[in-house]
Amino acid sequence: MMEVYLDNNATTMVDPKVYEEMKPFFCDKYGNPNSLHKFGAGTHPKMVEALDFLYEGINAADEDDIIITGNACESINTVLKSVWIDKILNGDKKHIITTEVEHPAVTATCKFLETQGVAVTYLPVNEEGILEAETVKEFIKEETALVTVMWANNETGKVFPIKEIGTICKAAGVAFHSDATQAIGKVPVDVQDCNINYLTFSAHKFHGPKGVGGLYVKKGSELTPLIHGGEQMGGKRAGTVDVASMVGMGWAMHLATSTMALAYEKNHVSKLRDKLENAILELPETIVIGGKENRTPNTTLISIRGVEGESMLWDLNQKGVGASTGSACASEDLEANPVMNAFGSDSELAHTGVRFSLSRFNTEEQIDYAIEVIKSAIVRLRAISSSYAYAPESHNSGL
């Protein structure tokens, strides 16, 4: 039985080249980077190199900050709660704008801020799953402290009009944050071109290690630390830096955002995704949620009428294929997929989405095997589905 991992939006394998760069910092160069002796100072060159890679990867300016955090969730919490402290508790701004399809790290933080008296507007997406930039413009008001919109959706792969939204926010004098966790390494991310004040990301989404993330802060943008303590990261994020992970994230960024790497994603990875997707769409009553345009090259969210997502995952897992019904951060929640609800899917279809997300380490042989397994699973599950069995005759073609 072949093993095929198609859940790369949940996490990715560490690139072996990244692992090799990290290894010396576990047992050889283990000094605390804040120490003055040679054991600590010996870590600094690789830390500087890693930061340079991060700056280059998102086109940050030298005067801007990139803060090393534990993950994107921490970075997002830092931004939103800093805005709450700086502009809401200690200012006259009381309003945040976001979308209905953000990652739980944004949504849950906004829900918390609502309990503290913050007004949050959750903007809907259109029929393609995209937030239209003009919608943001409509809802910005004098009291708006922040607009926070993901760069790319973790479930559909849909890429949002970040440059247009950034232009609108800059004209209105409103800070703009984008969660780029699902964008880096898949599409170009340029914080200067898109007028970004805050950008968040996580290394394990682009073949770096788990447990380390980044927070970009444009020069002049306020930031109250979420974690207080020592003076690490210029006093903006206390705690001894995990040098191995920082080096790993820098190298992962370097490898993922090179011109050659992005071209490979756009061409090779997208071709494998399309091959998988088109094979599934040959079956009746299967659709790509949000359509095929304007997506990251590796992602497809497919609705399969008559097949519950959780049942599909069970069948795939038995044959060595890993996929997802949506965000891994909400995988224990058996409620209907909120992204599909945001599209206006009916109650049955909202439970039928299966996400396949590829990486540069997938092969055509793996995709061929996955297609066989997926088609077989659909046939089996539809045969025992009460909702599909009583569907109109047009559904029942043996599939």
The residues assigned a catalytic role are 329
151 touches 183 (CB < 8 A): yes
Give the H/E segment covering residue 300.
strand 299-304
- Amino acid identity of residue 188, one-letter, is P
Helix intervals (H) in the chain:
16-22, 24-27, 38-41, 44-58, 72-83, 104-115, 133-139, 162-172, 243-256, 259-264, 270-281, 309-318, 338-342, 364-383, 386-389
Give the H/E segment covering residue 215.
strand 213-217
- Amino acid identity of residue 41, one-letter, is A
Cα–Cα nearest to 326, from 312, 345, 315, 339: 339
Cα–Cα nearest to 183, from 214, 159, 164: 159
DSSP string, 11-54: --PPPHHHHHHHTHHHHTS---TT-SSHHHHTTHHHHHHHHHHH
Question: Which residues are CB-contacts of 147 (< 8 A; sequence separation ≥ 6)?
Answer: 96, 97, 98, 136, 140, 165, 169, 174, 175, 176, 177
